[in-house]
């Protein structure tokens, strides 16, 4: 077999991915193994895990691909910083040790991290957006498609349109730094008191509580959206050099005050800002989608880049955009670019160091349901639980499902760890916390007692694919939880009156209150038996007992923690939160029977 390794990292969300004869064998994000959220270090652990999962060594690799061109990125950093002297000079002085400390000599870094790598193994570098585009198109089921990649920034590009055909990706247009939808969204994330690069989901979750009253101001003063789908930011209001806040005094004055500190309460102003930047982002993305359609004439669109995790915008692109079909890389952020780099190397032309393999897309995508991470065998799970003095019962999978469904019906919260770990930010039923979506107080209970996070944040429903249309206005599948769709009319409960702001959270809007957002929408995961057999079987059992084919599915972690990887991570998280039941591999554990009140955490907490 011919093996290609892809690597991303040294900025945020480091990861590695391994192909064998073009098939995706393994992909892991470093944070899941190192237990440091958004870990940006060189992904030593992920690389080792990928090689171990395939049972190979570095000596078996034919090519290694990195997701960026370091020299090009360095020259952008240099040019931007020096162009904005003297402030830029200071920012540059902070950044330069990083570059000199190994970001420039990546070839050397890769060789030293992969002892045994053969001299003839090629090491190649894609651009950042080439890697995103490859992760979107070359893993998709489409033989041809338009490709749109949108993020903060790579080398220079922040937005790119390309055309995918066969095994090739042809770049068509780019928008360059500092004009960036990702940076603009992050600027509002920071301004509303959330962390850049991880708080963007929170801002998106907050948006439906607000009014879009800043939209016109934003469009007049901060971003201009052009007829052709392109856009420009007004740098009088933004500070792209300040990676942690991105806004300046003029911005603060314009939008009604200083940035919110994380410990300050959320005011109506923040809700309205969240709603407004979300609306502007959606409008910009619809414009870009139209442009990609015009440029390619394709009826199919592939999306990647961090902004493609904006599932509300994705739902609108599918419903209102010019494309018939949409495929979004589930690891749309920079972790997925490791996979993109590997795919670009495997299918890429020989003259650019690629292996020029032919591509025959299948009926489904090539992501194996997103389950590309490591899995612990039952003996290893039991050994870990024993080490931790846990109390468990081992049982066959049928009994395990029955006991878990008993617990769910009794209103308990269940930690569910089965099979290979997900690649990408969403837990898809292999590292999940589950609950009964019919319960009206489940959303705030799970948020506050289990995940220790803000009560406004909605949960997502996992629904049996074959019954998804009865519950959600979704045509087709959404196996990666990347689309937001309206809850079906038949499930809606009309309200006598609409409350204001965050009080809207308490109003019951559907038969599935715990997963129905205040605007009547839900971030849907459709679960089918081919990709996700164990989780499908559990949903089937819950349906047989209750008539309801839906469960709450949220990632298995607490605030500030990466999603759990191993049985040990899962047990620690279980003990330290209010999760009632843990089902890990063949083992069933109840909270009351455990000898611990608390355990040392398995992760480095990062403040929000
Ligand atoms: Fe990116």
How many whole angstroms separate alpha carbon 525 and alpha carbon 426? Answer: 10
Q: Where are the beta strands (DSSP E) in 126-202?
A: 144-150, 157-165, 168-176
pLDDT band at 333 (very low <50, low <70, confident <90, very high): very high
As a whole number of angstroms, the distance between CA 133 and CA 153 comes to 14
Does residue 3 have a pLDDT over 90? Answer: yes
pLDDT greater at residue 162 or residue 198: 162
pLDDT in tens, 342-354: 999 999 998 888 8
The predicted-structure confidence for 119-165, as pLDDT tens digits, reads as follows 999 999 999 999 999 999 999 999 999 999 999 888 889 999 999 99
Task: Decide if pLDDT at 28 tops 60.
Answer: yes
As a whole number of angstroms, the distance between CA 349 and CA 357 comes to 8
pLDDT at 84 over 70: no
pLDDT digits (tens, 9 = 90+) for 263-277: 899 999 999 999 999
Asked if the peptide bond before residue 178 counts as cis, ω within 30 degrees of 0, the response is yes
Q: How confident is the model at residue 600 (pLDDT cuts 50, 70, 90)?
A: confident
Chain-wide mean pLDDT for the chain?
Answer: 91
Indicate if the alpha-carbon torsion angle 218, 223, 227, 230 is positive or negative: negative
What is d(CA 289, CA 295) in angstroms, rounded to the nearest whole number? Answer: 10
CA of 149 to the centre of ligand 1 (A): 8
Which percentage of the chain shows pLDDT scores above 70? 94
Region of residue 389 (phi > 0: left; psi between -120 and 50: alpha; otherwise: beta): left
CA of 103 to the centre of ligand 1 (A): 17
Per DSSP bridges, beta strands 431-435 and 550-555 are: antiparallel
Burial (0-12, 13-18, 19+ Cβ within 10 Å), 261: exposed
Q: Are 571 and 582 in contact (CB under 8 A)?
A: yes
pLDDT at 545: 98
Looking at residue 434, its pLDDT comes to: 97
Per-residue pLDDT, 100: 58
Mean pLDDT of all residues in 298-308: 96
**Active-site choice (12, 129, 132, 270):** 12
157 CA from centroid of ligand 1 (Å): 9
Q: Are 26 and 53 in contact (CB under 8 A)?
A: yes
pLDDT of 305: 96
Residue 395 near residue 588, CB atoms below 8 Å:
yes
Residue 92 scores a pLDDT above 90: no
Centre of ligand 1 to C-alpha 291, Å, is 20
Please report which helix (H) or strand (E) contains residue 526, including its range: strand 521-527
∠ at Cα 139 (341, 584), nearest 5°? Answer: 95
pLDDT for 494 equals 87
Compute the distance from residue 495 Cα to the ligand 1 centre, in Å: 41
Q: Are strands 300-304 and 325-328 parallel, antiparallel or unpaired?
A: parallel
**How does residue 74 score in pLDDT terms, banded at 50, 70 and 90?**
low
pLDDT value at residue 85: 54
pLDDT digits (tens, 9 = 90+) for 584-598: 999 999 999 999 888
Q: How far is the CA of 8 from the centre of ligand 1 (A)?
A: 10
Is the pLDDT reported for residue 244 higher than 80? no
Maximum C-alpha span of the chain = 72
pLDDT for 208 beyond 70: yes
Q: How far is the CA of 305 from the centre of ligand 1 (A)?
A: 5
Cα 443 to averaged position of ligand 1 atoms, centre (Å): 31
| pLDDT at position 371 | 98
Number of helices (H) and strands (E) in the chain: give both, helices first: 19, 21
- Checking if the pLDDT of 460 tops 70, the result is yes
How far apart CA 572 and CA 385 sit, in angstroms, is: 10
Q: Which pLDDT tens digit goes with each residue over 552-579?
A: 999 999 988 999 999 999 999 999 999 9
**63 or 155: which leads in pLDDT:** 63
Predicted local distance difference test score (pLDDT) of residue 89:
56
pLDDT over 80 (residue 454): no
Distance CA(540)–CA(464), nearest Å, equals 7
**Under a CB-based contact definition with an 8 Å cutoff, are residues 107 and 353 in contact?**
no
CA proximity to 144, closest of 305, 339, 324: 324
Look at residue 99 and tell me whether its pLDDT is greater than 60.
no
216 alpha carbon – ligand 1 mean position (Å): 28
Average pLDDT over residues 400-413: 97
Tell me how far the alpha carbon of residue 353 lies from the centroid of ligand 1, in angstroms.
Answer: 22
Beta bridge partners of 422: 371
Ligand 1 centroid from CA 513, angstroms: 34
Is the pLDDT at 364 greater than 80, yes or no?
yes
CA distance 384 to 153: 41
- What pLDDT was estimated at residue 90? 59
Strand 414-417 and strand 460-464: pairing?
Answer: unpaired
CA of 131 to the centre of ligand 1 (A): 9
Cα dihedral value 200, 202, 205, 210, nearest 10: -90
What local confidence, expressed as pLDDT, does residue 358 receive? 95
The residues, ordered by sequence, that sit 6+ positions from 85 with a Cβ below 8 Å of its Cβ are none
**Helix H or strand E encompassing 91:** helix 87-98
Mean pLDDT of 535-559: 96
Distance CA 157, CA 230 (A): 13
> How far, in Å, CA of 541 to CA of 256, rounded?
52
- Residue 94 sits at φ, ψ, to 5 deg, of -70, -35
Q: What is the pLDDT of residue 598?
A: 82
* Predicted confidence band of residue 457 (pLDDT cuts 50, 70, 90): confident
**Percentage above 90 pLDDT, the chain:** 75
- For the record, the structure tokens of 305 come out as 């880049």
The pLDDT, as a whole number, for residue 153 is 87
Nearest to 177 by CA among 37, 80, 301, 59: 80
Residue identified by tokens 């890697």 is: 131
Token pair of 595 as six digits: 């000898």
Give catalytic status of residue 12 as yes or no.
Answer: yes
Short-list 6, 91, 7, 35, CA closest to 563: 35
pLDDT at position 42: 94
Q: Across residues 68-92, what is the average pLDDT?
A: 66
Element (H, E) at 73: helix 70-83
CA 176, chain centre distance (Å)? 23
Cβ neighbours for 162, distance < 8 A, ≥ 6 positions apart? 133, 137, 146, 147, 149, 169, 170, 171, 172
Ligand 1 centroid to residue 229 C-alpha, Å: 20
By the 8 A CB rule, do 532 and 546 touch? no
How close is the Cα of 274 to the center of ligand 1, in Å? 22
376: pLDDT strictly greater than 60: yes
């Amino acid at each position: 077999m011919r093996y290609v390794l892809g690597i991303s990292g040294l900025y945020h969300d480091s990861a590695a991915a391994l192909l064998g004869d073009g098939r995706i064998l393994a992909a892991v994000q470093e944070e899941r193994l190192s237990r440091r959220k958004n870990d940006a270090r060189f992904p030593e652990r992920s690389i080792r895990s990928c090689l171990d999962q395939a049972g190979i060594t570095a000596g078996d690799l034919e090519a290694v691909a990195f997701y960026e061109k370091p020299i090009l990125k360095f020259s952008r950093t240099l040019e931007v910083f020096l162009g904005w002297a003297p402030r830029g000079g200071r920012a540059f002085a902070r950044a330069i040790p990083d570059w000199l400390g190994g970001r420039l000599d990546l070839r050397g870094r890769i060789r030293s991290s992969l002892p045994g790598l053969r001299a003839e193994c090629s090491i190649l570098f894609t651009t950042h957006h080439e890697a995103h585009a490859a992760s979107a198109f070359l893993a998709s089921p489409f033989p041809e498609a338009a490709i749109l990649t949108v993020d903060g920034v790579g080398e220079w590009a922040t937005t790119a349109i390309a055309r995918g055909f066969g095994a090739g990706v042809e770049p068509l247009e780019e928008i360059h730094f500092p004009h960036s939808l990702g940076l603009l969204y992050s600027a509002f994330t920071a301004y509303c008191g959330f962390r850049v690069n991880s708080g963007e989901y929170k801002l998106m979750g907050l948006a439906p509580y607000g009014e879009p009253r800043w939209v016109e101001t934003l469009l007049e003063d901060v971003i201009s959206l052009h007829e052709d789908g392109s856009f420009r930011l007004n740098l009088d209001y933004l500070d792209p050099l300040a990676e942690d806040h991105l806004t300046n005094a003029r911005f603060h004055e314009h939008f009604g005050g200083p940035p919110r500190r994380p410990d300050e309460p959320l005011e109506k102003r923040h809700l309205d800002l969240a709603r407004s930047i979300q609306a502007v982002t959606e409008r910009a993305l619809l414009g870009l989608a139209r442009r990609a359609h015009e440029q390619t004439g394709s009826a199919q669109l592939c999306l990647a880049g961090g902004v493609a995790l904006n599932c509300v915008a994705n739902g609108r692109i599918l419903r209102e955009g010019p494309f018939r079909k949409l495929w979004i890389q589930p690891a749309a952020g920079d972790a997925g670019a490791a996979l993109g780099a590997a795919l670009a190397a495997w299918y890429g032309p020989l003259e650019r160091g690629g292996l020029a393999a032919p591509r025959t897309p299948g009926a489904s995508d090539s992501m194996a349901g997103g389950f590309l991470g490591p899995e612990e065998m039952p003996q290893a799970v039991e050994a870990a639980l024993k080490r931790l003095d846990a109390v468990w019962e081992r049982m066959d999978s049928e009994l395990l499902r029955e006991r878990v469904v008993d617990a769910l019906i009794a209103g308990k919260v269940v930690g569910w760890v089965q099979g290979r770990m997900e690649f990408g930010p969403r837990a898809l039923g292999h590292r999940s916390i589950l609950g009964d979506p019919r319960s009206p107080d489940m959303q705030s209970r799970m948020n506050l007692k289990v995940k220790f996070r803000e009560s406004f944040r909605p949960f997502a429903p996992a629904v049996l694919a074959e019954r998804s249309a009865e519950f959600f206005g979704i045509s087709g599948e959404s196996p990666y939880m990347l689309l937001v769709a309206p809850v079906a009319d038949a499930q809606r409960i009309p309200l006598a009156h609409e409350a204001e702001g965050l009080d809207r959270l308490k109003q019951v809007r559907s038969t599935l209150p715990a997963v129905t957002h205040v605007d009547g929408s839900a971030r849907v995961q459709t679960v089918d038996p081919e990709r996700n057999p164990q989780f499908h079987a559990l949903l089937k059992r819950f349906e047989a007992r209750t008539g309801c084919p839906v469960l709450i599915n949220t990632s298995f972690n607490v605030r500030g923690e990466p999603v759990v990887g191993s049985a040990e991570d899962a047990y620690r998280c279980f003990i330290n939160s209010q999760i009632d039941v843990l089902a890990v591999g063949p083992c069933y554990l109840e909270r009351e029977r455990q000898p611990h009140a608390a355990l040392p955490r398995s992760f480095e907490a990062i403040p929000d």
